[in-house]
Amino acid sequence: MTAVLAADRLSYAYPGSAPVFSELSLEVARGTSLAVLGPNGGGKTTLLRLLCGGLRPAAGRILLDGRPVAYGRAALAEFRTRVQFVHQDPDDQLFAATVGQDVSFGPLNLGLPPEAVAARVASALEDMEIPFLADRPTHLLSFGQRKRVAIAGALALRPVVLILDEPTAGLDPAGTEALLETLRRLQADGTTIIASTHDVDFAHRWARDAAIIARGELRAGPADTLLTDAALLRAASLRPAWGPAVGRALRAVGGLPADAPDPRSPEEVLGLRPEPRP
């Protein structure tokens, strides 16, 4: 496997607190979709913030393309343009008056000429299907729209790795479907994507790989294997992916051909799709 990003024997403790984890290692394959799951307080956000350089490990290393991340100001700034982090709450990220201004902040900071900044903003808004929001004040947007703007802001930096903390939290079913399609499109264009979630079904539908972090331990592997392992998931306060269980039940009553793949969503079984957003 070619790891684009790796954690090598990472240890981390918040000041004055017990370690969240010790000697934790993870390899993220280039071009993959990796879902990070675990119980509340399991350490997902901490791991993601270490992976993007937002936290500095007490011990161990983060490697991008095999090179250890350096924590000097300039080196870290360069690393963080290539590995972008999107906060769970868009309000922790958005700060400019309008959507266009917010999304242009990163490219402007890179010192790009105005035409290049404008091109990046346009393509990031296009990627997130929100060009119509460009001139809108950020504080007047809905939560789901603010989430899309926050992701557009990260995409404007053309990252090699996009890291999203609970991207589906607070989205309605149509918003989750739209996000799923967007993440698939970005991945098809070559971006490696890591996302934390409590939503095992979303993870099973979207991710190629999974990492489950609980009580300081991490298990990583193919999503199809990990997300159908009932004992492992129960130990991490998660439940198994819905699709394989329903697939088994349907096959048992002849409702699904023996060789058909497991359904990935209730909509697929019912032949329904959420209404697209007007």
Ligand X SMILES: Nc1ncnc2c1ncn2[C@@H]1O[C@H](COP(=O)(O)OP(=O)(O)OP(=O)(O)O)[C@@H](O)[C@H]1O
Closest distance to ligand X from the beta carbon of 153 (Å): 21
Nearer to ligand X, 42 or 106 (CB): 42
Applying CB under 6 A, among 14, 77, 255, 277 the residue interacting with ligand X is 14
Residue 20 as a binder of ligand X (CB under 6 A): the answer is yes
In whole angstroms, how close is the CB of 168 to ligand X at the nearest point?
13
Among the listed residues 40, 111, 190, 253, the single contact to ligand X using CB under 6 A: 40
**Does residue 243 bind ligand X (CB under 6 A)?**
no
Full DSSP string of the chain = --EEEEEEEEEEE-TTS-EEEEEEEEEEETT-EEEEE-STTSSHHHHHHHHTTSS--SEEEEEETTEEPP-SHHHHHHHHHHEEEE-SSGGGT--SSBHHHHHHHHHHHTT--HHHHHHHHHHHHHHTT-GGGTTSBGGGS-HHHHHHHHHHHHHTT--SEEEEESTTTT--HHHHHHHHHHHHHHHHTT-EEEEE-S-HHHHHHH-SEEEEEETTEEEEEEHHHHTT-HHHHHHTT----HHHHHHHHHHHTTSS-TTSPPP-SHHHHHT--PPPP-
**38 is a site residue for ligand X (CB under 6 A):** yes
Specify the stretch interacting with ligand X by CB under 6 A; choose among 33-41, 119-127, 173-181, 241-249: 33-41
Interface with ligand X, residue 44, by CB under 6 A: yes
> Does residue 104 belong to the site contacting ligand X (CB under 6 A)?
no
Interface stretch with ligand X, choices 44-52, 53-61, 66-74, 255-263 (CB under 6 A): 44-52
Which is nearer to ligand X, 4 or 213 (by Cβ)? 213
Task: Give the DSSP per-residue string, 14-63.
Answer: -TTS-EEEEEEEEEEETT-EEEEE-STTSSHHHHHHHHTTSS--SEEEEE
Q: Toward ligand X, which CB reaches closer, 2 or 17? A: 17
CB of residue 10 vs ligand X: minimum separation in angstroms?
13
Minimum distance from CB of 18 to ligand X (Å)? 8
If you write DSSP's letter for every residue of 16-29 in order, what string do you get? TS-EEEEEEEEEEE
Distance in Å, CB of 21 to ligand X, minimum:
9
Q: Using the rule CB under 6 A, is 41 a contact of ligand X?
A: yes
Contact range with ligand X by CB under 6 A, out of 24-32, 40-48, 151-159, 182-190: 40-48
User: Of 227, 222, 225, which Cα lies nearest the Cα of 197?
Assistant: 227
Which CB atom, from 110 or from 235, has the smaller least distance to ligand X?
Answer: 235
Under rule CB under 6 A, how many of the chain's residues touch ligand X?
11
Q: In this chain, which of 3, 26, 34, 46 binds ligand X, going by CB under 6 A?
A: 46
- 168 sits near ligand X (criterion: CB under 6 A): no
List residues near ligand X by CB under 6 A: 14, 17, 20, 38, 40-46
